Amino acid sequence: MMEKLYLIARIADTRVALRSRAINSVVTVGIPVEVPAAPPHVAGLFALRSRVFTLIDPHVVIGLPPVPAAPGQRVIVVDVADHGYALLADAIEDVCFIEAPETRVAGRLLPGWARVAEGMIEHEGASLLVVDPAHFITLPVQKAA
């Protein structure tokens, strides 16, 4: 049976659903340590329970200006390829079971969202974008003009 538990969050003013199996935890972080010469979507590093996590700014991934991490910011901790990452989120709304099936994305998305979205799901009368955290971390290589 397909796992139907999702974390609902707001990222760049868009309500998204992340499959629970992709998520390690939701934590509050302090100010991250900046990483010189890091790619623009890397907001810094922080330590949690004796592990170092790379903080990812999803705004940059979808083509928006960066949003600095505020003290006490809540982040979504995920493991991708055996490394710990955390996604900055505007808000963490809920963790809930959603019985509706995931469907293909209806309509056109901005290119940045199209890269991270895997589908749509209906929940309490709203359509949520189903996103995979791994897509925020592994960015396509930009070809030099």
**What are 8-60's pLDDT values in tens digits?**
999 988 999 999 988 999 999 888 899 999 999 999 998 888 889 999 999 99
The reported pLDDT for the residue numbered 110 is: 81
In degrees rounded to 5, what are phi and psi of residue 99?
Answer: -80, -20
pLDDT digits (tens, 9 = 90+) for 124-134: 999 999 999 88
Tokens read off for 79: 């493991």
3 pLDDT more than 80: no
The pTM score is: 0.86
Q: Give strand ranges (E) for the chain.
A: 5-11, 14-19, 23-29, 42-48, 51-56, 73-80, 83-88, 91-97, 117-123, 126-131
Q: Phi-psi region for residue 13, left (φ > 0), alpha (ψ -120 to 50) or beta? A: left
Tell me if 132 sits within 8 A of 116, measured CB to CB. yes
